[in-house]
Structure 1
Amino acid sequence: MAAETTPPQKKPSAIVVGVGVELGLGAAVVRRFARENFHVFVAGRTREKLDRVVAGVAAGGGSAEAVATDATNEGDVRNLFTKAFDADAAHEAPSVVVFNAGANARIPFAEITPAQFEAYWRIGCFGGFLVGQEAARRLLPLGRGTIIFTGATGSLRGSANFAHFAVAKAGLRMISQSMSREYGPAGLHVAHVVIDGGINGEWLRGLMPDFVNARGDDGLLDIDAIAETYWRIHQQPRSAWTQEMDLRPYKERF
């Protein structure tokens, strides 16, 4: 009788929504989970940026897959999750979903157009609703999984000239709290991370180089350090889960 063969073990997998440039938080989260042998679904609106992030993961020996996704489009979000939760795939069903999509700009309150207000809300809050809802629908039958939402200073307080941004982020925070209370007892870990300070990434470096230089060493949030926190949240035992965590550089006043 021929010896039985053990089927190859499937890789764990993760979904990261809101991935843009390589020197950005979304891409850093992708790389962090790929380091742990996760197959990562890399989701964002710009295919060229996604492909560069995936190529970087592959160059480091990791596994990732680009899925062009507009987080404000219900069909796009459903397509992303259908692909990721394919039962016939070589990877396990995702155990972690990260929502990192967002947009920000300084706009005086009297100058915000209705279209701008709605657009910022759709990206920062409505997109989180669509992704969070689909994640809950898929993970709930499995009785496990981590859902992490990226927040900001605006999640807690509205600053002058950033009402449109604060509304979106405050709404996202409430989504995370409601989901956590509803789904925590069923085994889903829902967490919200308040990024309270500037992120040392491509966006801020390009927009405010003098500000970045003035902050000096470790004066801004390091993208890899934030990504490490996301990984540790996913690793938390269910007897001591974090629902909300705030991160800021040691020089940040608060």
Structure 2
Amino acid sequence: MQALIVGAGEGFSASMARRLAREGHDVALAARNTAKLAALAAETKATLHECDGADPDQVAALFATPQGEAADIVLYNASFRVRGPVTELDPEDVRRTLEVCAFGAFLVAQQAARRMVPRGRGTILLTGASAGVKGFPKSSPFAMGKFALRGLGQALARELHPQGVHVVHIVVDGGIRSSRRPDDGRDALLDPDAIAEAAFAAMNQPRSAWSHEIELRPWVETF
């Protein structure tokens, strides 16, 4: 099976690429800057594709490649955020946040659905965040983008599930462990490999019991 990750980078998307590759899936990685993905591509034998996920023409071109046409699994992981008091935010930065977090997800899901629906199968995964469930001070653009993403996921699930396409919105509610943000030994940060494992499990659910959303948070995280 062919998997396509749009907005690939380190963290969850890298862990998902490794998890899919271990299961024998062919992996394609798409990002605006593919140079940063060279090591991951070599490790997972993935193909690399330059693509701005918020650009309709670039997304259409991505799905016109053999990897895009054949993709049975599509993960939209692109994200952008700007922080600051609402009185001081640059409108263009806010626009870009909405384009990357929500509009790009629509573009990718639309292209994926156009190919999956005729086949009657496929999985579309959308990476959400705490901001899609609760808005935080000085983070209104990210909240708008991630709330929109969550709404998109719900609408797509209700539309596409009866057509055989599984849509899962993944709420990552907490900080993600990384080399720049190591855990203190309490498992207080989400392990990206654990997020990938949960996403992989959701992806393989029997269709008689599909989830349209899963929430993941560390055991010490407050709700």
TM-score bracket, normalised by the shorter chain, equals over 0.9
CA contact (8 A) 2:6 2:77 kept: yes
Q: In the TM superposition, what is the alpha-carbon distance from 1:198 to its structure 2 partner?
A: 0.3
- Report how many residues are paired: 223
Asked if residue 40 in structure 1 is aligned to residue 27 in structure 2, the reply is yes
Question: In 1, distance between residues paired with 2:160 and 2:51?
Answer: 25
Partner of 2:95: 118
Matched letter for residue 46 of structure 1? N
Q: In the TM superposition, what is the alpha-carbon distance from 1:107 to its structure 2 partner?
A: 1.8
Q: In the TM superposition, what is the alpha-carbon distance from 1:217 to its structure 2 partner?
A: 3.0
Matched letter for residue 234 of structure 1? M
Partner of 1:20: 9
What pairs up with 1:47-66 in 2 under 5 angstroms?
47-57=34-44, 63-66=45-48
Deviates more, 1:141-150 or 1:103-112: 103-112
CA contact (8 A) 2:2 2:67 kept: no
Question: In 2, distance between residues paired with 1:41 and 1:82?
Answer: 13
CA contact (8 A) 1:97 1:147 kept: yes
Asked if residue 240 in structure 1 is aligned to residue 196 in structure 2, the reply is no
Moved over 6 A (4+): none
Q: Deviation digits for residues 198-226 of structure 1, max 9, x if unmatched?
A: 01125xx2xxx5xx55x543110000000
Question: In 1, distance between residues paired with 2:56 and 2:106?
Answer: 10
Match of 2:170 among 186, 193, 204: 193
CA contact (8 A) 2:128 2:149 kept: yes
CA contact (8 A) 1:121 1:165 kept: yes
Partner of 2:75: 98
CA contact (8 A) 2:53 2:107 kept: yes
TM-score (norm 1): 0.84
Asked if residue 71 in structure 1 is aligned to residue 53 in structure 2, the reply is yes
SS in 2 for 1:252: coil
Partner of 2:218: 249
SS in 1 for 2:29: strand
Match of 1:172 among 149, 163, 167: 149
Matched letter for residue 124 of structure 1? C
Question: In 2, distance between residues paired with 1:85 and 1:46?
Answer: 18
Shift in CA distance, 86/64, structure 1 to aligned 2, threshold 3 Å = same
CA contact (8 A) 1:43 1:50 kept: no
Asked if residue 224 in structure 1 is aligned to residue 217 in structure 2, the reply is no
Question: In 2, distance between residues paired with 1:224 and 1:85?
Answer: 24
SS in 2 for 1:246: strand
SS in 1 for 2:79: coil
Partner of 2:65: 83
Question: In 1, distance between residues paired with 2:23 and 2:82?
Answer: 34
Give ranges in structure 1 of 5+ residues lacking alignment.
Answer: 1-11, 58-62, 88-92
Question: In 2, distance between residues paired with 1:227 and 1:217?
Answer: 20
SS in 2 for 1:16: strand
Question: In 2, distance between residues paired with 1:111 and 1:248?
Answer: 31
Question: In 2, distance between residues paired with 1:238 and 1:143?
Answer: 12
C-alpha RMSD over aligned residues: 1.5
Question: In 2, distance between residues paired with 1:85 and 1:66?
Answer: 10
Tell me the percent identity.
Answer: 41
